Amino acid sequence: TDRYCVFGHPVGHSKSPAIHAAFAAQTGDNIEYTAIEAPLDDFAGAWRRFVAEGGRGANVTVPFKEAAFELCDTLSERARRAGAVNTLILGGNALTYGDTTDGVGLVRDLKRHGVELTGARILVLGAGGAVRGVLEPLLSEEPVSLFVANRTAAKAEALAADFCELGTIAGGGFEAVEGPYELIINGTSASLAGDLPPLPEALFNDGGIAYDMMYASEPTLFLRWAAERGAATIDGLGMLVEQAAESFFQWRGRRPDTGPVREALRRTL
Is 44 annotated to bind ligand? no
Please report how close the Cβ of residue 225 comes to ligand ATR at its closest, in angstroms: 13
CB-CB contact of 127 with 152 (8 Å): yes
Q: What are phi and psi of 122, to 5 degrees?
A: -120, 135
**Total residues found in the chain within this entry:** 269
| Nearer to ligand ATR among residue 130 and residue 203 (C-beta) | 130
- Tell whether 236 is in a known binding site: yes
Considering beta carbons, is residue 126 or 137 the nearer one to ligand ATR?
A: 126
Under 8 Å between Cβ of 79 and 69: yes
Q: Is the Cα dihedral 224, 100, 124, 174 positive or negative?
A: positive
Q: Which of 20, 65, 132, 262 is catalytic?
A: 65
Any idea what DSSP says for residue 165? G
**Cβ atoms of residues 17 and 240 within 8 Å:** no
- In terms of C-beta density within 10 A (0-12 exposed, 13-18 middle, 19 or more buried), how is residue 211 classed? buried
Dihedral in degrees, nearest 10, Cα atoms 247, 250, 254, 259: 20
Closer residue to ligand ATR (CB): 22 or 84? 84
* Footprint on this chain of ligand ATR (rule: CB under 6 A): 126-131, 150-152, 155, 188-190, 193, 195, 197
Q: Is 102 annotated as a binding residue?
A: yes
DSSP category for residue 4: E
Question: Is 111 annotated as a binding-site member?
Answer: no
152 assigned binding-site residue:
yes
Q: Give min distance, CB of 49 to ligand ATR, in A.
A: 25
63 vs 180, which CB is nearer to ligand ATR?
Answer: 63
DSSP alpha helix (H) spans, the chain: 16-27, 43-52, 65-71, 77-82, 102-112, 129-139, 153-162, 221-228, 237-252, 258-268
- Annotated active-site residue 111? The verdict is no
**In whole angstroms, how close is the CB of 128 to ligand ATR at the nearest point?**
2
- Asked if residue 86 belongs to a known ligand binding site, the reply is yes
Smallest distance from ligand ATR to CB 239, Å: 13
Residue 16 CB, nearest approach to ligand ATR (Å): 17
In the bound complex, which residue of the shown chain has the CB atom lying closest to ligand ATR?
Answer: 128
Annotated binding site: 14-16, 61, 77, 86, 102, 126-130, 150-155, 213, 215, 236, 243
Q: Which residues are annotated as a binding site for NADP(+)?
A: 77, 126-130, 150-155, 213, 236
Q: Return the active site residues.
A: 65
Binding residues for shikimate: 14-16, 61, 86, 102, 215, 243
